[in-house]
Amino acid sequence: MQIKSIIGLMVSCSLFLAGCDDSTDSIADAVIDTVETEVEDVIDNIVAVDPSLFALNSLESIEMVDCTLSNGDASTCYSVTVNGFPADRNELGPFCPESTETTAEDAGKWFDGGVLYDLTGSFVSNLSVFYGDSKWQLYDKDTGLVNITDTQLACEAAVRPDVAAEYNNFCVQCDISYYNEAAGEGVSSTYLIPVTPVLRDTPEDIEHTDVGVAFNGVNLAAAAPTQAILSAYTIAAFDDCIGHVNPVAGYHYHGANHGDGTCPAIDYENDGHGGAFAYAMDGFAIHSMLNQSGEEETDLDECRGHSDDNRGYHYHAAGAGENTFIGCFAGEVAR
């Protein structure tokens, strides 16, 4: 139970910040050393969660707690509280294009049918053709300016399930500053993740629950409700990392973009295997879709997982435009 005492140290450090700065590195090293000694062996294809993978500046606290798994078994979970702002970035966005002239560099993304698109001015001008519906008119015909929800009131009215008619034909974006006091902070959330994952007999569908949490502190959200969004003639713009802000979750991801971006950041493993960037709620790691040579694994199961001797059971993310990360939970989640 060496991990427990180290984590306890981290927690008390985060509670009593004074005097902690000097010891941050040594705490990180201690956590890593501890984990390396305790998690050397892959037993029955299960590797315990490694708390040192979380970026220290994304964490508010991490502690071990009693928990009950979805099969009813009593277990031990990490209670991980993150501040919700991506630890590997300084700012979010851009999301919506300002005008029909805006190029990809100054705009975010939208996805449909498994494809990730640059949400450029010309993409926005073409929506009525793209969706075969002449009611799409996201911009002012005279000025070319795109209708953007640029106040907290407007963004919250436009992200509700029953979007007010006055916010039809808006590109929706919410600023993270509506939901926190300080720059570089997000909306904090706590995740309960089994310390030692437990494989289920039959996989569990992911519907409206969180999929997991990235090591950089960002929520991996359930699928975006694209039908509801589009039926209100809105586009819930993502940034290039396939993330956006809502009032409840703050900044959250709807996909992993390791293709033309590096978000969330990964390091390929020594053998060229895809790098891990998140834990799913069942405690299995999620790795990048592709390996260092740009190839996808060929033996993935319906949950997009597989096992090997080094890594045990783990997932590989779906394509950046697929509105999902993994196919299902192969393991028990905490209730």
List contacts with Zn ion (CB under 5 A): 224
* Whole-angstrom distance, CA of residue 286 vs CA of residue 299: 15
Structure tokens at 64: 């071990």
Least Å distance, CB 188 to Zn ion, is 17
Query: Residue 55 carries which DSSP code?
Result: -
Integer angstrom CA distances of residue 143 from 98, 130, 150, 235, 272: 11, 22, 17, 20, 50
Residue whose pair of structure tokens reads 């509801």 in the numeric block? 228
115-118 vs 109-112, strand pairing mode: antiparallel
Nearer to Zn ion, 154 or 224 (CB): 224
Neighbours of 59 (CB within 10 A): 19
Least Å distance, CB 315 to Zn ion, is 8
Which sign, positive or negative, has the C-alpha torsion 116, 121, 124, 130?
Answer: negative
* Whole-angstrom distance, CA of residue 135 vs CA of residue 128: 7
Instruction: Answer yes or no: are the C-beta atoms of 43 and 168 closer than 8 Å.
Output: no
Nearer to Zn ion, 142 or 309 (CB): 309
Q: Nearest residue by C-beta to Zn ion?
A: 224
Nearer to Zn ion, 62 or 174 (CB): 174
Nearer to Zn ion, 69 or 224 (CB): 224
* Whole-angstrom distance, CA of residue 165 vs CA of residue 168: 5
Amino acid identity at 48: A
Nearer to Zn ion, 63 or 112 (CB): 112
Least Å distance, CB 221 to Zn ion, is 5
Nearer to Zn ion, 224 or 333 (CB): 224
- The rounded radius of gyration (Å) of the Cα atoms in the chain is 21
Residue whose pair of structure tokens reads 């306890």 in the numeric block? 8
Nearer to Zn ion, 48 or 224 (CB): 224
Least Å distance, CB 225 to Zn ion, is 8
Neighbours of 197 (CB within 10 A): 28
Least Å distance, CB 152 to Zn ion, is 17
Q: What are the DSSP calls for 123-156, one per residue? A: HHHTHHHHTT-TT---B-TTT-BB-B--SHHHHH
Least Å distance, CB 264 to Zn ion, is 16
Least Å distance, CB 284 to Zn ion, is 11
* Whole-angstrom distance, CA of residue 192 vs CA of residue 14: 18
Instruction: Answer yes or no: are the C-beta atoms of 212 and 109 closer than 8 Å.
Output: no
Structure tokens at 128: 């009525």
Least Å distance, CB 236 to Zn ion, is 6
Nearer to Zn ion, 220 or 224 (CB): 224
